[in-house]
């Protein structure tokens, strides 16, 4: 009988040890998942703010380069109206993240994707994280007329037209 009790005690100890190890594994897995989620959230936030900084850098560069780039003609790529070019206008390095900046003209009535006549332009900033995350921010940027005078004439009756009263749906923004 003493041999049966020792065997039963061994089985009981092994069963309790198995349950405790399983609980320890589950707890360690939950801690690991939580840490990973926090790191992913921090990475997404860093990507978002880097893309936002890319848009702001593009605004500064566009505001100072209108005259020097022939009314942004040098920066706007020819292509299909309403779509971005396949290659970025420039790439910014923001805190170690590469932010690609794409430009396209808004539908301003001149049917020319390389010609801006209303000082409004779409800016898309895209950045990718090391673990595969990607953030894209698009905005329609408007600028004040250059100090040298009105907008250059790009088409009959279009240059200098105030299109700010048009509904946003006419800007051609798509998701």
The rounded Cα 14 to chain-centroid distance in angstroms is 54
* Domain encompassing residue 72: 39-171
Look at residue 171 in the predicted model and tell me its pLDDT.
47
Number of domains in the chain: 1
- Contact in structure between 148 and 67 (CB atoms under 8 Å): yes
For residue 6, being part of any structural domain is answered with no
Residue 16 domain-assigned (yes or no): no
Calculate the average pLDDT of the chain.
80
Q: How far is CA 137 from CA 11, 44, 47, 107, in A?
A: 61, 13, 10, 19
Residue at 9 is within a domain: no
pLDDT at res. 2: 58
pTM (predicted TM-score): 0.66
Give the pLDDT score at 52.
95
What pLDDT, on a 0 to 100 scale, did the predictor assign at position 115?
78
The segments of the chain whose pLDDT lies below 70 read 1-4, 146-175
Residues 94 and 50: beta-carbon distance below 8 Å: yes
Asked whether residue 167 is domain-assigned, the answer is yes
Q: Which of 163, 167, 157 shows the shortest CA–CA distance to 121?
A: 163
First to last CA, the chain: 77
Residue 46 lies in a domain: yes
The answer to whether residue 43 is domain-embedded is yes
- The pLDDT score that the predictor gives to residue 65 is 83
């Amino acid at each position: 009988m003493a041999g049966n009790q020792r065997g039963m005690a061994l089985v009981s100890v092994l069963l309790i040890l198995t349950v405790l190890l399983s609980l320890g594994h589950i707890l360690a897995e939950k801690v690991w998942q939580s840490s990973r989620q926090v790191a992913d959230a921090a990475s997404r936030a860093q990507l978002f703010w880097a893309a936002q900084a890319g848009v702001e850098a593009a605004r500064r560069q566009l505001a100072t380069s209108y005259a020097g780039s022939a009314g942004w003609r040098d920066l706007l790529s020819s292509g299909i109206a309403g779509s971005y070019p396949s290659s970025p206008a420039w790439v910014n390095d923001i805190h170690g993240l590469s932010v690609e900046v794409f430009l396209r003209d808004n539908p301003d009535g001149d049917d020319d994707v390389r010609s801006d006549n209303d000082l409004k332009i779409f800016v898309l900033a895209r950045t990718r994280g090391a673990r595969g995350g990607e953030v894209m921010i698009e905005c329609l940027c408007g600028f004040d007329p250059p100090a040298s005078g009105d907008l250059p004439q790009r088409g009959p009756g279009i240059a200098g037209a105030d299109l700010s009263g048009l509904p946003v749906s006419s800007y051609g923004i798509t998701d």
